Amino acid sequence: MNNEAALVVFSGGQDSTTCLFWAKKHFKKVYALTFLYGQKHEIEIEAARSIAEKAEVDFHVMDVSFIGRLGKNSLTDPSVCMDEEKPSGTFPNTFVPGRNLFFLSIAAVYARERGINHLVTGVSQTDFSGYPDCRDAFIKSLNVTLNLAMEEQFVIHTPLMWIDKAQTWALADELGVLDLVRYETVTCYNGVKGDGCGHCPACKLRREGLEKYLSRKYAPQNK
């Protein structure tokens, strides 16, 4: 296994783009794997492709559209109207059941074929929006399962697990890609690049984080 290479599960959004540049800092060779799962917005794939090109990493798109068809959710089904707020006691309908389970399992097989044992994902327990497969316990459990399933020593890296959106912006800035992340990624559930539509839950979370980070960065005591 190659300790100098890492595979990033890469969507072209704020979090995974920050992870892509984090991986570039820590590994000699970086691969980006993007999943096509029936997102309503092809613009996400195009953004991912163009960022990967700029980052000069190996880029691959894999069609896993069956995931979107297994369950009903607002990210892949145009007939489902997206929850603007997280409903209490249940998942927001932007939840795609099993998404990270499928993504990371497929990523591990893909990585194994190329002799890579480091996997990187942008999940965060801090801002996990109610998605259980973004939590640390799930990632650790899956890591063990993948190792047992393939008798390998995969290491799943989660640089964002314990940081919030403002700290994720700080990390992007530290990595020298604040503007790239701000203007070229697509986080918005309505598929609007950069600052996004402004009113979906992903845009709200992203904007609040950015405002918090920028106000700290430009606070008088930091000048």
The answer to the question of residue 32 lying near Zn ion (CB under 5 A) is no
The answer to the question of residue 190 lying near Zn ion (CB under 5 A) is yes
Taking the least distance from each CB to Zn ion, the nearer of 32 and 203 is: 203
CB 82 within 8 A of CB 94: yes
The answer to the question of residue 129 lying near Zn ion (CB under 5 A) is no
The answer to the question of residue 200 lying near Zn ion (CB under 5 A) is yes
End-to-end Cα spacing for the chain? 46
Pick the stretch among 42-50, 75-83, 178-186, 188-196 that binds Zn ion (CB under 5 A). 188-196
Count of residues near Zn ion by CB under 5 A: 6
The answer to the question of residue 196 lying near Zn ion (CB under 5 A) is yes
Supply 148's token pair. Answer: 């047992």
List the one residue from 5, 7, 75, 188 that touches Zn ion (CB under 5 A).
188
Measured from the CB of residue 186, what is the shortest distance to Zn ion in angstroms? 9
The answer to the question of residue 197 lying near Zn ion (CB under 5 A) is yes
- What is the Cα–Cα distance from 185 to 45, expressed in whole angstroms? 10
Dihedral over alpha carbons 26, 13, 107, 45 (to 10 degrees): -130
Supply 129's token pair. Answer: 């929006």
Sheet bearing 29-36, strands edge to edge: 58-63, 29-36, 2-9, 116-120, 155-157
The answer to the question of residue 203 lying near Zn ion (CB under 5 A) is yes
Measured from the CB of residue 20, what is the shortest distance to Zn ion in angstroms? 21
The answer to the question of residue 210 lying near Zn ion (CB under 5 A) is no
E-state strands within the chain: 2-9, 29-36, 58-63, 116-120, 155-157
Binding-site ranges for Zn ion (CB under 5 A): 188, 190, 196-197, 200, 203
